A and B are shown apart, each in its own frame.
Chain A
Amino acid sequence: MEVGKLVAIIGDEDTVTGFLLAGVGHRTAKDTNFLIVKQDTTLQQIEDAFHALTLRDDIGIILINQHVANNIRHVLKDYNQTIPTVLEIPSKEHPYDPEQDYIMQRVNMFLGGGA
C-alpha cells in the first residue's frame, strides 16, 4: 500500500490525549480523526462522529473507549464493515470488561462451544 491509513480515536480526554501524544492525531481543514467525549457530549454527536469516521476511506482502525462504545452499542451491533476495524479499549475509569466486548463474546462462544 502506498499511503497508510489513519488510526481514529473516540474516547475520554485522557485516552485521546495519550494517543495524540503517540502520534495518531491528524487534523486538516476539513476534518479530524478523533473525538474527545466529555460530560456534555451528546449521544448524537458521538453517533455522528462514529458514522462519519466509518464512511472515510483513509481510516483503517477506530479505537473507542469501552464505556463510550456501550452508549452507541446499538450502532456498533449493526456495523459490519471490515475496514475500518472497530477496537474497544478500556479507559482510566473503566477497566476492560471482556463481557461487553462483542468480539470477545464471539471468541468465547466459539472457544466455549468447542468443536
Chain B
Amino acid sequence: MADVPPTRMNDQIFKGKKKAAEVGHKLLKKKADALKVKFRDYAKAIAETKSSMSTDAASAFFSMTQAEYAAGNFKQKVAEGSMTARVRVGAGIDNVAGVKLPVFKIYETGVQADNQSLGLVGGGKKIVAVREKFTVLLEMLIKLASLQTSFVTLDEALKVTNRRVNALENVTIPKIQGILDYIARELDESEREGTSPFSSFVSLLFYCFLMSSRLFQCVFRFHSSKACAG
C-alpha cells in the first residue's frame, strides 16, 4: 500500500479504477449467467439424445443380426477393398452467448456405394435395411457429437469466466478499495495536522510572498530615503 502516494489526484485515479472494475464485474457476471443457462440446455439435450441413440443403436444391431442370418457372412466383404467415404462431416462454428462453439453437419460426398454386389447375395433386402438403420444412427451420432463438443467448449468458457469474476470480486476490487481507504485516511490525517503537501505548498508560497513583499518595501523605503536625501 505504501507505494501509492496518498494524493488527491491518486484518489481520483483509483476511484475511476474501482468504477471500471465494478462495471467489468457486472458484465462478466451477466455473461457467466448466460453461459450457465446455455450449458444447462446442452446438458439436457445430451442426456435425451444419448438415451434415444441407445434405442436406435439396439435396433441397428438387431437388423445386422437379421441380415447375417439371411445373407450369411457378408461382413468381411464389406471391410475389404479400397473405399472412399460416402459420408463426411463438415465442421462449422456457431456463436452462442459470445462463445464460438464447434458444430458438425453431415453431408454426402456423392461417391457411389461400391458394394452393390452385396445385394446380389441372398438377403440383399436385409442388408439394405442395415444400411438404412446405421445411416439413421450415424446422423443421430453426428448430432450428438456436435452437442458434446459444444458442451465441453462451453464448460471451459464458463470456467474461465467464473475465474475472472472471482478474481475481480476477491482480489482486484478489494485491493483498490484498500488503496482508496489508505488514501482517505492519510488525507484526513494530514488535514488535521496541517501538513498536507498541498497546504504546506500554499503556506510556503504565502511565506515567500510575505518575505518578498517585506524586502520590496525595505528597498523602496531605502531608495526613497536616498532620493530625499540626494
Contacts and interface: CB of A to CB of B under 8 A. Distances in A.
Contacts of A107: 43, 46-47, 151
Contacts of B85: 6-7, 23-26, 33
B1 interface: no
Nearest to A34: B79
Given A14-B75, A17-B78, A96-B50, A103 B89 contact: no
A16 B135 contact: no
Interface residues of A, number: 47
Interface size class of chain B, counting residues whose CB lies under 8 Å from the partner chain: 35 or more
A33 B39 CA distance: 32
A104 B50 CA distance: 9
Main secondary structure of the interface of A (DSSP, over half): mixed
B144 interface: yes
Contact of B87 (A23, A92, A103): A23
Interface of B: 39-40, 43-44, 46-47, 50-51, 53-54, 57-58, 60-61, 64-65, 75, 78-79, 81-92, 102, 104, 107-109, 111, 113, 115, 127, 130-131, 133-135, 137-138, 141-142, 144-145, 148-149, 151-153, 155
24 contacts: A1-B90, A5-B90, A5-B91, A6-B85, A17-B75, A18-B64, A18-B134, A21-B115, A23-B87, A23-B135, A25-B85, A26-B85, A27-B83, A60-B89, A61-B141, A61-B145, A82-B102, A83-B102, A89-B57, A96-B53, A98-B51, A103-B148, A104-B46, A104-B50
